[in-house]
Amino acid sequence: MSILKSWYESGKHTDVNLVFKASQQSSNMRGKMILRNNDSVVIFSAHKLILGARSPVFERLFYSPENKEKLQDFSLEDDPVEFKHFLNFLYGELPIQDSLLAIFKCANKYQVGIKLSCSKKKGSEKHMKRISICT
């Protein structure tokens, strides 16, 4: 496990909370689920620097002059289950095939370039070999 991933998993040095409206599917996932203003929300703690370095959208959100006050909570409209896959990917976790659509969806929204490497096996079917963030 990489240092970044271990910091994310442990919550070490996190400086931002990403807040999502909870869904039925999100009750089965890891993340802090709380009741806020009579709504269930899911909160993921993360690192502004990591997300801002990966995404120009997050960079603008976290470091714009309007957010000089060092806001720590940001409400996002994404599905928390899909975003969790994307967040794991941003921290270096290799995606499983079931999470690819969610990762591509979020990557498009948050302007994260993704590069796929495919290889051919017997027959004409292509198989994913590697997925990585373009820098």
Give the tens place of pLDDT for each residue, 14-41: 999 999 988 766 555 555 666 566 678 8
**Is residue 7 pLDDT above 60, yes or no?**
yes
- pTM summary value: 0.79
How confident is the model at residue 79, as a pLDDT?
A: 93
- The pLDDT-based confidence of 83 (bands split at 50, 70, 90) is very high
Q: Give me the pLDDT at residue 91, please.
A: 93
Phi then psi dihedrals of residue 91, to 5 deg: -90, 10
**Unique residue bearing structure tokens 């290889």:** 119
pLDDT of 125 over the 80 cut? no
Q: Which domains does the chain have, with CATH numbers?
A: 3-133 (3.30.710.10)
User: How many angstroms separate the CA atoms of 13 and 45, rounded?
Assistant: 9
Handedness of CA 84, 49, 19, 14 (dihedral sign): positive
CB-based contact 99:78 (threshold 8 Å): no
Instruction: Note the pLDDT of residue 35.
Output: 57
What is the DSSP secondary-structure string of 115-134? Answer: EEEEEE-SSS-EEEEEEEE-
